[in-house]
Structure 1
Amino acid sequence: MGAPDASAAARGTATGETETPSSPESGCISCEEMIAHLQAFLDHECEHSVAERLVRHVAECEHCAQIADAEQHLRAIIRSRCAEQAPPELRARVLGRLAVLRGTSGVASVSRTTSTIVSRDGSRVTVTRTSSMRIERD
């Protein structure tokens, strides 16, 4: 399920930025309120009545429609760029370690060793950090 399209109604009917008076009775919402509620709306965390008011406001306010479009576009970029998965080798190692820990009838002892080597070659500094973990069943 994707994010609500707060700006769909605005494409083609908006005439420019408007500041509508805010009152629940009138069903209007101000630009400030729209911006304050936009994140919750896109996360599907708004009350239905607030969501309806946001959609109406964005349909009438080009400025807020642009803000809503930009936020939806940014979220789409983040979703597409942050979809990396761990390499299969790492996944296998982690699952193997978990299996060892789960398979122990007693207590497992875990030791971790980290070493850091700093070397200089002229103006270049190289830092090498090595980490290892050892799991032993008692």
Structure 2
Amino acid sequence: MSTHDHHEPSTSDCADFLERIVYFLDNELDEADCSAVRLHLDACNPCLEKYDLQRTVKAVVARSCSESAPQELRDRVMFRIREVQVRISEG
């Protein structure tokens, strides 16, 4: 183990921080934990890349959930559902 102030994060450090990243993104950590996560991300490029990916996925999902399908697609889906319901009832 190195005695330097700036050490390479261990695999177990990263596993712990990767779990906390989800809570960090959702603002569910106290200030001390937020600071620890920020420090780790500053020192660990692989975790920073995973954080950026998680943040991007979260933003895309949030945006997708606020959009609705085009009316034509909704009509086609409803038509297919009704076809299947008719087949089942005739079944």
Query: Aligning the two structures, in what range does the TM-score lie when normalised by the shorter sequence?
Result: 0.5 to 0.7
Normalising by structure 2, we get a TM-score of: 0.63
- What does residue 72 of structure 1 align with? 55
Name stretches of at least 5 consecutive residues in structure 2 with no aligned partner.
1-7, 69-84
- Higher share of residues assigned strand: 1
Cα distance in 1, alignment partners of residues 62 and 11 from structure 2: 35
Aligned residues: 66
Q: CA deviation at 1:33?
A: 1.3
The runs of at least 4 aligned residues of structure 1 exceeding 4 Å deviation read none
Cα distance in 2, alignment partners of residues 19 and 35 from structure 1: 12
Normalising by structure 1, we get a TM-score of: 0.43
Change (3 A) 1:42 1:84: same
- Is 1:117 the counterpart of 2:86? The answer is yes
What secondary structure, in the 3-state scheme, does the structure 1 residue paired with 2:86 have? strand
Cα distance in 1, alignment partners of residues 55 and 62 from structure 2: 11
2:9 to 6, 19, 26: 19
Name stretches of at least 5 consecutive residues in structure 1 with no aligned partner.
1-17, 23-29, 86-115, 119-126, 129-138
Task: Determine which structure has more spread, i.e. the larger CA radius of gyration.
Answer: 1
- What does residue 75 of structure 2 align with? none
Which structure has more relative contact order (CA 8 Å, sep 6+)? It is 2
Cα distance in 2, alignment partners of residues 47 and 65 from structure 1: 20
Q: CA deviation at 1:82?
A: 1.1
- Higher share of residues assigned helix: 2
For residue 9 of structure 2, what is the amino acid of its counterpart? E
